[in-house]
Amino acid sequence: MKLWVGLGNPGAKYAGNRHNIGFMAVDRIAEDHGFSPWRKGFQGLVSEGRLGSEKVALLKPETFMNNSGQSVGEAMRFWKLVPADVVVFHDELDLAPGKVRLKTAGGHAGHNGLRSIHAHIGESYDRVRLGIGHPGHKDRVAGYVLADFAKAEGDWLDDVMRGLSDGAAALAAGDGPRFLNAVAQRVAPPRPSTGIARPAAQPAPTPAPEDTRSPMQKLMEKFR
């Protein structure tokens, strides 16, 4: 049994916020992989299903971001899980938009949702870090993460969501590289072949022989 947690804030007011990209991720996985309808549980919303051979529970805490750990801890105790069974999907300021990275254990880097989870279950859980970029100055961070994604960001955001869904079974199986490759195939797909052969390289023109005649010889040639 795996517990995958998407971080965000509950309610329509926050639904499109950058801070809610974790909610968006687990919503997409639930939809694409036929998980059960979302139901109330563990101070949040829960959906259950299978990814490959693994049973996975998806959790969206409704405690607001700063108290996410309460919901996660409650779900873990119910299913008798350990931190290694938990994967948290969260926004990451220190990654460029569209970048996705995996991390096991370590600090919370000031992220309030992770800070709360640390306090309730420790740090030995996995994270899927979803890059949203940085506004450039720490004083602008709060407004930035609590603002909606811009329309211009829609394409890369959708690509990331598709990639997370494509790689979900690999992530559940513990194959991090294959999961990240699935994301990369969506975010930066290889250029398709056009089927048109490149023209053959043309040989370089043969240089003209050097003119070794003297000025007098050239002048005499003109009057012949």
Active-site residue list: 19
Dihedrals phi, psi of 150, to nearest 5 degrees: -70, 155
Q: How far apart are CA 8 and CA 15, in angstroms?
A: 8
Burial of 179 (0-12, 13-18, 19+ CB in 10 A): buried
Residues in the chain: 224
> Distance from first CA to last CA of the chain, Å, rounded?
100
Closest CA to 68 of 35, 126, 22: 22
Element of type H or E holding 54: strand 54-61
**Sheet bearing 44-51, strands edge to edge:** 39-41, 44-51, 54-61, 2-6, 86-92, 126-131, 100-104
